[in-house]
Structure 1
Amino acid sequence: MKPVLWMKSSCTTCRNARAKLAELGLEAEIRDYFKKPLEAAELERLLPDDPAPMLGTKSPKYKELGLKDRKLSKAEAIQLMVQDNNLLKRPILVHPGGVIIGFDSSAYEKLVS
């Protein structure tokens, strides 16, 4: 399975993640989910039962909806993320060695060691 980097091309952190993958020689399929939004079925496969780590807490929509004080079910999170992709924390690297949410340089390095 080829790794997939789910990202937003205008996001600096996402671009840093992509550059780190290139630096490590790790070829990944790039999926800009703002150009091609994630569908509910894709999110169903991607999200853990507790979707909290996948929520983009810096999103204005996150604050607007008061999600900080709510515990969302997976189904609720999926519905909200389909409506507004900014609620999905980025980037997300899906690799045979695991899923990394957000950019963590050392975690990326561990995947290739």
Structure 2
Amino acid sequence: MINLYITPSCASCRKAKAWFEEQGLEYKEINIFKEELTLDEFKAIIRMTEDGTSEIISERSKAFQELGLDIEDLSITELYGVVRDNPSILKRPIIMDEKRLQVGFNDEEIRSFLPRKVREYEVRRLLDLAN
């Protein structure tokens, strides 16, 4: 199952939702302002990142700046508490399934959530068009 962590006012979140609906892919929408991330969900997201917390925490956001924190000084549990209490410091959308994580909306990268057969078909179709 694809989890889509969003906020309603986020334009990139709306684009991601629309893309999944256009593709006919099932997803679970999780509004991070209404539903707290669990510690297990947070750890799963962190495990999937390539760059650690910098990939999911918006350190330039006003909300983060007001906290005056140094993420490097926090344990995962402490950081989780900060995110739980201040979900607006997360970059959005966070799109995740069992194998992939994408932060933000990117037209090309989001295609990785398509089933393999669909991606293979598209590659063959593009190759045929090129010939």
Shorter-chain TM-score above 0.5: yes
After TM superposition, the structure 1 = structure 2 runs for residues 1-113 of structure 1, keeping only pairs within 5 Å, are 2-48=1-47, 50-67=52-69, 71=72, 72-112=74-114, 113=119
Unpaired stretches in structure 1, ≥5 consecutive residues: none
Between 1 and 2, higher relative CO (CA 8 Å, sep ≥ 6) is seen in: 1
Q: 1:20-55, CA deviations, whole angstroms, 9 ceiling, x for partnerless residues?
A: 111222221111111112133321222238322110
Percentage of pairs with the same residue: 28
Report the Cα offset of residue 17 of structure 1. 0.9
SS at match of 2:105: coil
For the 8 Å contact 1:24–1:109, the answer to whether it is kept is no
Aligned residues: 111
Q: Matches of 2:59 and 2:26 in 1, distance apart?
A: 29
Q: Considering only aligned residues, what root-mean-square deviation do their CA atoms show, in Å?
A: 2.1
SS at match of 1:77: helix
Unpaired stretches in structure 2, ≥5 consecutive residues: 120-131
Q: Matches of 1:58 and 1:20 in 2, distance apart?
A: 27
SS at match of 1:100: strand
Report the Cα offset of residue 64 of structure 1. 1.9
Q: Matches of 1:26 and 1:36 in 2, distance apart?
A: 22
Q: Aligned residue for 2:124?
A: none
Q: Matches of 1:43 and 1:99 in 2, distance apart?
A: 12
Q: Matches of 1:80 and 1:13 in 2, distance apart?
A: 23
Name whichever structure is richer in helix by fraction. Answer: 2
After the TM superposition, which segments of 4 or more aligned residues of structure 1 sit over 6 Å from their partners? none
